[in-house]
Amino acid sequence: MIKVTTQAAQGDVLFRKVLVLPENVQKKLTNPIVVAHSETGHDHVIQDPRVVLYEVPDNPLVCYLRAEVPFEITHLRSFDTHEPLLLDGGPGAIWEVRKQREHTPEGWRRVED
């Protein structure tokens, strides 16, 4: 497991610690939290109920996480998997989650890991 205090990537997902939540985010109650879904079944998941997910309206490529405790991001696949990340938590700990994107002739789309 990799311990993270400021920034890390897990496949096509970037986690970056930030100071504040943007004003336009919406809290979403869900457990587990799937920060990046894959059609091939290798979702990037948080299974800690103490972590809160905030979504950005009209932007599925960015979300935020708030946690008072360190929490683990796991990659749900039995083969060719990414090592788990342990993201730093604590009072006011906020993580921005960005899904990588790429440009195609049809326009921008999320990168498939």
CA distances to 14, 67, 105, 106, 109 from 46, in Å: 14, 11, 34, 32, 24
Q: Give the residue with greater pLDDT, 6 vs 75.
A: 6
Position 112 pLDDT exceeds 60: no
Residue range 21-35: mean pLDDT, rounded: 92
Cα–Cα distance between 90 and 40 in angstroms, integer?
33
Angstrom CA distances, 88 to 2, 25, 57, 69, 93, stand at: 11, 21, 26, 7, 7
- Name the residue with tokens 């894959």: 38
What's the pLDDT score for residue 65? 96
pLDDT at position 84 is 85
pTM of the full structure: 0.83
pLDDT in tens, 49-107: 999 999 999 888 899 999 999 999 887 766 556 778 899 998 889 999 998 765 567 76
Alpha-carbon distance values, 53 to 37, 49, 56, 107 (Å)? 15, 10, 10, 28
3-state secondary structure of 87: strand
Going across the sheet that includes 94-99, the strands are 7-10, 13-18, 94-99, 62-66, 52-55, 26-28
